[in-house]
Amino acid sequence: MVRELLEEKKINYRFCVENSLYEKIKKIKSAINAKKTIVISPCNKTTDGIVKYIQSIDQNCKIFVADKDKNKHFKTSDQYSYKSYEGFYKHNPSWAKQKGGANVFDIETIAKENPNMFAIISSPNFHETKIKNNFLQFINKKDIIYFHRNIFYPAFFYEDYETFLEQNIDRIDNIYNLIADELSKNIFKNYIKGLLKKDTDIMQNIDTYPQYFIDDIFTFSKEEVLVDVGAYTGGSIGEFYIHVNGDFKYIYSFELDKNNFEKIPNYIRMFMDENTLQKVKLINKGLYSQNTTCHINSEGASSAISNEASNENTAQLTKLDDEITVPPTFIKMDIEGSELEALKGGAETIRKYKPKLAICCYHKAEDIFELPEFILKLNPNYKIHFRHHSAGRLEFVMYCV
């Protein structure tokens, strides 16, 4: 399967298509290398990721954000951030507040001192034509591109994915051949194909819903015991609660980041009464292969273990096998790349009880074969399925039953 995709890429890669993602990224890199001033418009929730991507190439690149709303805030290579305003940041005030920042400029003001510009229009609301027409007064048409999706935050694709595939052909093909259903095989194959070609259309075509609690793979009963690993602020608990109509046996909720963890109680009290809350155990720890402490990057939904000892944020790590007293029936896991270590720490529990599993397989490229390999070593009777729940590499999930 992988050899077929690699050969297809050589024959039919969309290098010549003007609006392909590959061509747009190539144009951005050319503009940066040519020392052009980069103008991003409008100022919205995609802007942060675009700036981070540009700065990953050249920290000194001159960047402006253009928007007709002067109450918004702009980014440059030295100082970039936003102020709360109508739209995304209005609904995310804590995120906006921590950014601070300086004023956004209109394109006319930017153009006065920056004649050599390249524009990136990132408008999820499809206003790119209006913005582009305004920009054409100051910027050459060939130096304007646009995206409908935020492909840069977090990283939409893996770096050097072709080499990765070439180095792991046999292991990936082996997992493909073990997949239990044709839909999963199609999703698995096209997920790899989309990453290889950097083609968002392929990724979007295999996007399915819902995530985690899927009736065409799993069956649920009143005796469900959920282990929510990477609970964030409790969203998955809410989805599970709805899916089982509030009728379950027990819930374990593990969240590494204290800032996230402290939001869970208020959230679940919105739909659980006091009697139901007695069936929920909230644990402010991360799951791992050993009991220890660690440094963490506290970044909301992306909070994760950090290797930087200078990081002041710390957290406790524990083994699943040491925490569980009620046998689990369902384990959901989304922990920013620590899934394999957490599974190792729960090996005895998984081997003994064979719970249903929903494990994220996208934080590391090798997750697509290392995680199913490990699960099948614990119990070769597991049936492996895959589903994809985004328009990029994110939210690729392995389901085992």
Ramachandran class of 42: left when φ > 0, alpha when ψ lies in -120 to 50, beta otherwise: beta
**What is the DSSP code (8-state) at residue 320?**
H
Residue 370 is assigned to a structural domain of this protein: yes
Per-residue pLDDT at 11: 52
CATH number at residue 138: 3.40.50.720
Give the pLDDT band (50/70/90) at residue 113.
Answer: confident
Residue 160 is assigned to a structural domain of this protein: no
* Lowest mean pLDDT across 14-28, 48-62, 113-127, 379-393: 14-28
- Residue 317 phi/psi, 5-degree rounding, is -115, 145
pLDDT, average across residues 135-140: 91
CA dist 62 → 37, 47, 154 (Å): 5, 14, 22
Using CA atoms, how far apart are residues 62 and 77, in angstroms rounded to an integer?
A: 6
Ramachandran class of 76: left when φ > 0, alpha when ψ lies in -120 to 50, beta otherwise: beta
pLDDT, average across residues 75-79: 34
Decide if pLDDT at 350 tops 60. yes
Decide if pLDDT at 94 tops 50. no
The domain boundary residue, chosen from 147, 166, 195: 147
Residues 228 and 275 reside in one and the same domain: yes
Give the pLDDT band (50/70/90) at residue 356.
Answer: very high
Instruction: Please write the tens of the pLDDT for every residue from 162-209.
Output: 999 999 999 999 999 999 999 999 999 999 998 888 776 788 789 888
Residues 261 and 342 reside in one and the same domain: yes
One DSSP character per residue, 102-153 reads: EE-B-HHHHHHH--SEEEEEE-TTS-HHHHHHHHTTTS-GGGEEEESS--TT
Decide if pLDDT at 91 tops 90. no
Residues 74 and 223 reside in one and the same domain: no
Per-residue pLDDT at 41: 85
Per-residue pLDDT at 138: 92
User: What is the pTM for the complete model shown?
Assistant: 0.72
Give the pLDDT band (50/70/90) at residue 322.
Answer: very high
pLDDT, average across residues 310-318: 84
Using CA atoms, how far apart are residues 375 and 292, in angstroms rounded to an integer?
A: 24
Q: Tell me which of 43 and 16 has the higher pLDDT.
A: 43
Instruction: Please write the tens of the pLDDT for every residue from 265-285.
Output: 999 999 999 999 999 999 999
Residue 254 is assigned to a structural domain of this protein: yes
The domain boundary residue, chosen from 128, 147, 166: 147
Share of the chain residues as helix, strand and coil, in percent rounded to the nearest 5:
40, 20, 40
pLDDT, average across residues 62-79: 58
Residues 269 and 389 reside in one and the same domain: yes
* Lowest mean pLDDT across 82-91, 199-208, 366-375: 82-91
Decide if pLDDT at 116 tops 60. yes
**What is the DSSP code (8-state) at residue 156?**
S
- Portion of the chain with pLDDT greater than 90, in percent: 54
Per-residue pLDDT at 97: 35
Domain that holds residue 329: 176-400
Give the pLDDT band (50/70/90) at residue 42.
Answer: confident
pLDDT, average across residues 7-20: 49
Decide if pLDDT at 124 tops 60. no
| 3-class DSSP state of 321 | helix
Residues 140 and 180 reside in one and the same domain: no
Residues 350 and 226 reside in one and the same domain: yes
Angle between helices 182-197 and 367-378 (to 10 degrees): 150
Residues 324 and 188 reside in one and the same domain: yes
One DSSP character per residue, 162-190 reads: HHHHHHTHHHHHHHHHHBSSHHHHHHHHH
Residues 366 and 247 reside in one and the same domain: yes
Q: Name every residue whose Cβ is closer than 8 Å to that of residue 95 and which is 6 or more positions away in sequence.
A: 89, 300
Residue 337 is assigned to a structural domain of this protein: yes
Using CA atoms, how far apart are residues 61 and 54, in angstroms rounded to an integer?
A: 7
Bridge partners of 115, per DSSP, are: none
Report the chain's mean pLDDT, rounded to a whole number: 83
Per-residue pLDDT at 55: 80
Number of domains the chain contains: 2
Using CA atoms, how far apart are residues 286 and 231, in angstroms rounded to an integer?
A: 10
Bridge partners of 359, per DSSP, are: 333, 398
Residues 259 and 302 reside in one and the same domain: yes
CATH number at residue 377: 3.40.50.150
Using CA atoms, how far apart are residues 108 and 113, in angstroms rounded to an integer?
A: 10
Decide if pLDDT at 18 tops 50. no
| CA quadruple 181, 252, 233, 335: dihedral sign | negative
Residue 382 is assigned to a structural domain of this protein: yes
Residue 249 is assigned to a structural domain of this protein: yes
CB 386 within 8 A of CB 179: yes
Nearest to 52 by CA among 63, 41, 44, 43: 63
* Lowest mean pLDDT across 7-11, 15-19, 41-45: 15-19
Per-residue pLDDT at 386: 98
Residues 129 and 66 reside in one and the same domain: yes
CB 39 within 8 A of CB 110: yes
Residue 154 is assigned to a structural domain of this protein: no
**What is the DSSP code (8-state) at residue 89?**
G
Nearest to 211 by CA among 183, 247, 239: 239
The domain boundary residue, chosen from 129, 147, 165: 147
Residues 235 and 322 reside in one and the same domain: yes
Per-residue pLDDT at 45: 63
pLDDT, average across residues 9-29: 59
Residues 143 and 183 reside in one and the same domain: no
Q: How many CB atoms lie within 10 A of CB 61?
A: 18
- Residue 32 phi/psi, 5-degree rounding, is -65, -45
Residue 225 is assigned to a structural domain of this protein: yes
